Chain A
Amino acid sequence: MMEFDSTHLWMHFWAIATAATVSAGCALVGSFLVVRRLSLLGDAISHAVLPGIVLAVLAGGRPGGAGVFLGAVVAALVTVWLTNLLGTHAGLAEDAGAGVAFTTLFAIGVVLVSALASRVDIDPGCVLYGILELVPFDTVPILGLEVPRALLAAATVLVVLVVAAALCWKELVFTAFDPAAARAAGLPVGLVSAGLLVATSLATVASFEAVGAILVVAMLAVPAAAAELLVRRFHRMLLVAVALGVAGSIVGYLAAWHFNTNAAGMIAVVLGIEYLLAALWAPGDGIVARVVSRESLRWRVACEDRLASLWRAEEGDAAALAPRTLLDRLAQARLVFGGRIVPGRAGGLTDIGREEARVIVRSHRLWEAWLGRHVALPLDHLHPPAEWIEHHLGAEVRGRIAADLEGDEGDPHGRDIPPEEFPRRPAEPPAR
């Protein structure tokens, strides 16, 4: 399909430009769909515009022309109307209703395309996965430059979408994030939603020739969902989504060129990889960040539990528990290495270790004492919450609890609460 040939570089440039333009428009609309939980509306519309397009072409419209856009918008509105009709009259859940409506319309479209193949210049395969590779061959002259018609249509739609989004920015955002409040504030919520619907069908039709009906779904949803993972503010999400969409189109096209395969499919795959990377590496709550923060907490808890256990052993309450699990052993090694525990089998606390352990046990017993005083819990229920919170109490909270306990020195089990500060030279731990 695509062989490297420098004389055709212009062709590739036009194809990439078309893909990027289409993708930018889809990412823009898709961001609104994703935050409004309407991603599947994009799915439904992208399937359902097919019969509209076919009928418009049959009626004499040119692919990418105004008539085709009109046909597609009408088909999209019909889908949504059918879904609502199935919802109100047949009591269908929205997903089933949409599933019925768009598969039926798409089936009608495919049958029309297959039956009228001689009269409609649409290939059933292209309906599904587009013909980005052929886009540069159908051009119109603009300012002496042969510009692909598909690019022209996509660019026009992109400009329309950007202008519309800028003009109705406040309404769009308000409706997206708090439709009830927007309605109460007197915004025409229904009209805004209908506008979004029309915008989705415009973006879909503009993409149709380049990437086909189904891969539009990826262009609509994937960059927006990835951007949502990466940033928190909506206007940034829009920009990031558009950037991801454009980058995915360029990389996807080049990869398809390299591997000699379908460009639209490869763009979807690259967008998927972008999403995967975003899900893994998003700052704050990406999978990697969450695993790291969870594991580091587990690690800290293991170390602190180890220290506290040794401290209690020195206090003479119980023998120190031998490290049992792998995590415990690693924590022990880390503490020995960090100079908290004396190396060797006996392995008591060093001075620094004792300082740190004391604070942990202090937190634990302060909490037990506080719970014992203020919450009517039986004695044997005090330990578990304290065991959890000892890792999270700061000096200030400890101070306040101590003040609240008014110098009460013991915990409810009758053991001393170790002081916050020892004199410089710590006393010997209580003898056995």
Chain B
Amino acid sequence: MILTVAEMSFPTGWIPPYNTLVVAAGVASVGFAAGVVGCFAVLRRRALAGDAAAHATLLGVGLAFLLGGGRRDLPLLLGGALSTAIAALLALVLIGRWTRTRDDAATAIVLGVSFGAGITLLSGISARGIPGSAGLEQFLLGHTAGLTAADAMILGALSLLTVALVALFLKESTLVAFDPLFAAASGWPVTLIDYALVVLVAVMVVVGLPAAGAVLVTALVVIPPVTARQWTDSVGVMLPLAGLFGLVAALSGVAVSSAVPRMPTGPLVVIAASILLTISLLIAPRRGGLARWLRSRRTVAAWAEGRLLEVALRLEAQGPFTREQLLAKAPGVAADSAFKRLVRSAAIEPVVTRAGTDAWRLAVWGRELAAERSRRLAAWTEVLEVAREDARGHLTIDVPSPEAILGAARMKAIRESAAAARSASGPG
């Protein structure tokens, strides 16, 4: 007997039924596409415009429900949602063009009023007891349990289409996202591409509705790109990575919500995405908190060592020096541990050598290091005094902040005396 996959009855309980698998696949592709499209929303700072569009979808769902004569047909409802989402974006553009109201207030107005209208409509529908209206509230916070396999396939297909569009216009979108002025100067239709990207965000917000709900679906578009941004500096990597994070977040949210009764999906998806983000913020290479901390510790240590060497070179003129003498002349963060490292280095390539129980002397290598450091410092001092522009051009962003090395109090004193010197020398 030959069975189709759908008809197969699995003997063991742990393999989920066909419908669940299809819904999971649909939600996964929604998560992936939301992450990919969201990258441009985040890069172009359209995150909150997407939020306004998301809150407006509720009104469209209600209108489509009424127009469709009370059928709960997902494509119809989502079509309605998309039209009001785009209307909301249009309202944003019009307010910006026609009134004095600034962007932030315009976003808040569109968001609040369209959501209010949606609530009014849905609540009016449910107060009149129109049959089939009970499930409409699920669009507020998301609920995937009611999705059929056909619905999920539509969602998945739309998501893949969106991703394909982004891939097709990758070059144009990237150019507009990073350098709109250059793009405009090179003759690209920047406004058109910009609007197209915002409309794609609206599409993703709508497609994400069943999974995350009107109130929280923005998070599905915003958080995965932000997470991906922690791991890479390249758009080519960021897009698939954001998609991957979105996919994982959407899937795990849906999985947890199906296990807990009466738990809406949206918040769980958002929390899953935030957990991924938190982990990334901590452990991502280069930009992560851990990497930053290690880097700043290394820098501080290197500076402390250099400063000890410099002082040691001066002290040595009067013969061997003690640890106290050295540390008294070179106070500061991490001086103590730097001294320990200098002593330990004796085993490999001696920087200092022991000249008594607590008497030290610079080794040949240490003297060379100290001399080289003074030479470099002198050279940089000259550069900073004479050719400041060169210094600015060659110092990278990784230059440690002076506060990290000298301490905040010392830095404040330096700044004050510099300001005093400036005002004493007078303007000009």
Interface pair A124/B141, CB less than 8 Å apart: yes
Name A218's contact: one of B116, B218, B223, B263 (CB within 8 Å).
B116
Known: A111-B271, A229-B100. A100 touches B222 (CB 8 A): yes
Instruction: Confirm or deny: A267 has a beta carbon within 8 angstroms of a beta carbon on chain B.
Output: yes
Interface pair B141/A104, CB less than 8 Å apart: no
Q: Chain A: which residue is nearest B98 at the CB level?
A: A287
Q: Please, what's the 1-or-0 string for B225-237, where 1 marks a CB less than 8 Å from any CB in chain A?
A: 0100110000000
Bound-state CA distance A268–B109 (Å) is 9
Contacts of A256 in B (CB 8 A): 120
Contacts of A89 in B (CB 8 A): 281, 289, 292
Q: Chain A: which residue is nearest B140 at the CB level?
A: A128
Interface of A is mostly: helix
Instruction: Confirm or deny: A195 has a beta carbon within 8 angstroms of a beta carbon on chain B.
Output: no
Contacts of B99 in A (CB 8 A): 229, 279, 287
Interface of B is mostly: helix
Chain B: how many interface residues by the 8 Å CB criterion?
A: 61
Bound-state CA distance A33–B128 (Å) is 38
Name A111's contact: one of B218, B268, B292 (CB within 8 Å).
B268
Of B42-50, B315-323, B407-415, B417-425, which binds chain A?
B42-50
Bound-state CA distance A277–B88 (Å) is 18
B53 CB to closest chain A CB (Å) equals 13
Name B109's contact: one of A109, A125, A222, A285 (CB within 8 Å).
A222
Instruction: Confirm or deny: A173 has a beta carbon within 8 angstroms of a beta carbon on chain B.
Output: no
Instruction: Confirm or deny: B60 has a beta carbon within 8 angstroms of a beta carbon on chain A.
Output: no
Instruction: Confirm or deny: B149 has a beta carbon within 8 angstroms of a beta carbon on chain A.
Output: no
Name A225's contact: one of B101, B115, B223, B271 (CB within 8 Å).
B101
Of A36-44, A60-68, A185-193, which binds chain B?
A36-44
Contacts of B229 in A (CB 8 A): 90-91
B118 CB to closest chain A CB (Å) equals 7
Q: Please, what's the 1-or-0 string for B248-275, where 1 marks a CB less than 8 Å from any CB in chain A?
A: 0000000000001011101110110010
Contacts of A93 in B (CB 8 A): 42, 45, 47
Of A156-164, A258-266, A299-307, A330-338, which binds chain B?
A258-266
Interface pair B116/A107, CB less than 8 Å apart: no
Tally inter-chain residue pairs, CB-CB below 8 A: 214
B35 CB to closest chain A CB (Å) equals 14
Contacts of A128 in B (CB 8 A): 119, 140-141, 215
Name A279's contact: one of B95, B121, B219 (CB within 8 Å).
B95
Known: A229-B101, A269-B120. A221 touches B108 (CB 8 A): yes
Within 120-156 of A, Cβ neighbours of B (below 8 Å) are at 124-125, 128-129
Interface pair A90/B117, CB less than 8 Å apart: no
Within 35-72 of A, Cβ neighbours of B (below 8 Å) are at 37-40, 42-43
Known: A99-B218, A100-B277, A107-B216. A215 touches B98 (CB 8 A): no
Within 101-150 of B, Cβ neighbours of A (below 8 Å) are at 101-102, 104-109, 111-124, 127-128, 137, 140-141
Instruction: Confirm or deny: A19 has a beta carbon within 8 angstroms of a beta carbon on chain B.
Output: no
Contacts of A34 in B (CB 8 A): 102, 105
Known: A108-B267, A125-B137, A262-B119. A103 touches B112 (CB 8 A): no
Interface pair A103/B270, CB less than 8 Å apart: yes
Instruction: Confirm or deny: A208 has a beta carbon within 8 angstroms of a beta carbon on chain B.
Output: no
Q: Please, what's the 1-or-0 string for A248-292, where 1 marks a CB less than 8 Å from any CB in chain B?
A: 000000001001111011111101100100010000010100100
Known: A42-B108, A225-B109. A104 touches B271 (CB 8 A): yes
Instruction: Confirm or deny: B361 has a beta carbon within 8 angstroms of a beta carbon on chain A.
Output: no
Instruction: Confirm or deny: B55 has a beta carbon within 8 angstroms of a beta carbon on chain A.
Output: yes
Bound-state CA distance A90–B228 (Å) is 11
A232 CB to closest chain B CB (Å) equals 10
Name A215's contact: one of B106, B112, B271, B292 (CB within 8 Å).
B112
B245 CB to closest chain A CB (Å) equals 13
Interface pair B108/A37, CB less than 8 Å apart: no
Interface pair A221/B274, CB less than 8 Å apart: no
Instruction: Confirm or deny: B51 has a beta carbon within 8 angstroms of a beta carbon on chain A.
Output: yes
Name B116's contact: one of A125, A225, A264, A285 (CB within 8 Å).
A264
Known: A99-B218, A117-B262, A272-B117. A129 touches B111 (CB 8 A): no
Q: Chain A: which residue is nearest B42 at the CB level?
A: A96
A112 CB to closest chain B CB (Å) equals 9
Interface pair B230/A115, CB less than 8 Å apart: no
Name A275's contact: one of B48, B113, B277 (CB within 8 Å).
B113
Instruction: Confirm or deny: A375 has a beta carbon within 8 angstroms of a beta carbon on chain B.
Output: no
Name A129's contact: one of B114, B123, B216 (CB within 8 Å).
B123
Within 1-33 of A, Cβ neighbours of B (below 8 Å) are at 1
Within 64-93 of A, Cβ neighbours of B (below 8 Å) are at 86, 89-93
Instruction: Confirm or deny: A242 has a beta carbon within 8 angstroms of a beta carbon on chain B.
Output: no
Instruction: Confirm or deny: A214 has a beta carbon within 8 angstroms of a beta carbon on chain B.
Output: yes
Interface pair B263/A115, CB less than 8 Å apart: yes
Instruction: Confirm or deny: A220 has a beta carbon within 8 angstroms of a beta carbon on chain B.
Output: yes
Interface pair B263/A92, CB less than 8 Å apart: no
Q: Chain A: which residue is nearest B110 at the CB level?
A: A272
Within 205-223 of B, Cβ neighbours of A (below 8 Å) are at 215-216, 218-219, 222-223
Interface pair B274/A279, CB less than 8 Å apart: no
Bound-state CA distance A287–B96 (Å) is 12
Contacts of B48 in A (CB 8 A): 40, 43, 95, 98-99
Interface pair B219/A107, CB less than 8 Å apart: yes
Name A272's contact: one of B109, B137, B226 (CB within 8 Å).
B109
Contacts of B120 in A (CB 8 A): 256, 259, 261-262, 265-266, 268-269
Contacts of B216 in A (CB 8 A): 103, 106-107, 110
Interface pair A214/B115, CB less than 8 Å apart: yes
Instruction: Confirm or deny: A114 has a beta carbon within 8 angstroms of a beta carbon on chain B.
Output: yes
B204 CB to closest chain A CB (Å) equals 14
Interface pair B219/A100, CB less than 8 Å apart: yes
Interface pair A269/B116, CB less than 8 Å apart: yes
Instruction: Confirm or deny: A411 has a beta carbon within 8 angstroms of a beta carbon on chain B.
Output: no
Instruction: Confirm or deny: A228 has a beta carbon within 8 angstroms of a beta carbon on chain B.
Output: yes
Instruction: Confirm or deny: B367 has a beta carbon within 8 angstroms of a beta carbon on chain A.
Output: no
Bound-state CA distance A269–B123 (Å) is 13
Interface pair B123/A218, CB less than 8 Å apart: no
Contacts of A202 in B (CB 8 A): none
Bound-state CA distance A93–B114 (Å) is 25
Contacts of B289 in A (CB 8 A): 89
A276 CB to closest chain B CB (Å) equals 9
* 3 A-B pairs with least C-beta separation: A268-B116, A218-B112, A272-B113
29 A-B residue contacts at CB 8 Å? A40-B104, A43-B111, A89-B289, A93-B42, A93-B47, A99-B47, A99-B51, A103-B223, A104-B219, A110-B216, A110-B266, A124-B141, A214-B215, A215-B119, A218-B109, A218-B111, A218-B113, A218-B115, A218-B116, A228-B100, A262-B122, A264-B116, A267-B116, A268-B120, A272-B109, A272-B117, A275-B113, A279-B95, A285-B100
What 7 additional pairs, Cβ within 8 angstroms, besides A115-B260, A125-B137?
Answer: A38-B104, A40-B107, A107-B268, A218-B115, A221-B105, A229-B101, A271-B113
